[in-house]
Amino acid sequence: MLTSEMTITSAVGYPDEFPEVIAEMPRLQEKIASLISHRLPFGQVLKGLEIAARPQSAKVMIEFEN
């Protein structure tokens, strides 16, 4: 990542906001789901980073198996 100068962005939440956000999630379920453009298993994390670097991607989710 250093040699390609890729930027990885994260977000932080605050514990006192969780109840309000969780209460709104059922109402916003479709809107939230539409934000995710790709879902990939952990074994394809490098592919996920490549996809995330493209402007046409939105949120790329890397999913861990049980």
Q: Specify the pLDDT at position 3.
A: 72
pTM summary value: 0.57
Task: Please report, for the chain, how many H helices and E strands are present, in that order.
Answer: 3, 2
Q: Specify the pLDDT at position 18.
A: 85
Q: Specify the pLDDT at position 25.
A: 92
Q: Specify the pLDDT at position 2.
A: 62
63: helix, coil or strand? strand
Residues of the chain with pLDDT under 70: 1-2
Listed by start position, the domains of the chain span: 35-66
